[in-house]
Amino acid sequence: MKIRDLLKADGIKLGVSVPNRDAAIDELVALQNKCGNISDAAAYKEAILAREAKGSTAVGMGIAVPHAKSSSVVKAGLSAMTVPGGVDYKALDNAPSKLFFMIAAPDTAADTHLEVLSKLMTLLMDQKFASDLIAAKSPDEFLNIIDAKEAEKDAASKPVEAAASAPKSSSYRFVGITACPTGIAHTYMAAESLEQKAQERGISMKVETNGSGGAKNVLTDKEIADAEVVIVAADKNVEMSRFDGKKVIMASTADAIHKASDLLDKAVSGNVSVYHHSGGSSKKESFDGNETMGRKFYKHLMNGVSHMLPFVVGGGILVAIAFLIDTICGYGTTGGGNFGTMTPLSAFFKYVGGLAMGLMVPVLAGFIAESIADRPGLAVGFTGGLLAANGNAAITSYIWGADNVLADNLSGFQKFIGGFAFQTGGSTVSGFLGGIAAGFLAGAIVLWLKKITSGFPKSLEGIKPILIYPLCGIFIIGVLMCFILNPIIALINTGLSTMLTALSDAGLIALLGLILGGMMAIDMGGPINKAAYVFGTGMLGTAADLMAGGASASDPAVKACYIAMAAIMVGGMVPPVGIAIACKVFPKKFTKAEQETWISNVVMGCSFITEGAIPFAAADPAHVIPCTFVGSAVAGLLSALFGCTLMAPHGGIFVFATVGNPLLYIVAWLIGSIITAVMLGFLKKDAE
Name the phi and psi angles at 238, rounded to 5: -135, 155
Strands 58-60 and 63-64: antiparallel
Annotated catalytic residue within 67, 186, 258, 300:
67
Question: Is residue 81 helix, strand or coil?
Answer: strand
Question: Is residue 96 helix, strand or coil?
Answer: coil
Name the phi and psi angles at 177, rounded to 5: -145, 135
Say how far apart CA 147 and CA 142 lie, in whole Å: 9
Question: Is residue 223 helix, strand or coil?
Answer: helix
Say how far apart CA 131 and CA 147 lie, in whole Å: 15
Annotated catalytic residue within 35, 113, 180, 650:
180
**Rounded to whole angstroms, what are the CA distances from 515 to 43, 47, 493, 538?**
45, 44, 14, 16
| Rg of the chain over all Cα atoms, to the nearest angstrom | 31
Q: How many helices (H) and strands (E) does the chain have?
A: 26, 15
- Please say if 180 is a catalytic residue: yes
Nearest by Cα to 252 from 233, 267, 236, 232: 233
**Rounded to whole angstroms, what are the CA distances from 40 to 10, 21, 57, 73?**
18, 20, 22, 8
Say how far apart CA 648 and CA 661 lie, in whole Å: 15
- Please say if 300 is a catalytic residue: no
**Rounded to whole angstroms, what are the CA distances from 490 to 290, 319, 395, 449?**
41, 28, 14, 30
CB 66 within 8 A of CB 51: yes
Provide CB contacts within 8 A for 466, sequence distance 6+: none
H or E element at residue 503: helix 486-505
Q: What is the DSSP letter of 213?
A: T
**Rounded to whole angstroms, what are the CA distances from 321 to 303, 345, 605?**
29, 10, 13
Nearest by Cα to 370 from 464, 462, 302, 452: 302
Say how far apart CA 563 and CA 509 lie, in whole Å: 8
- Catalytic sites, residue numbers: 67, 180
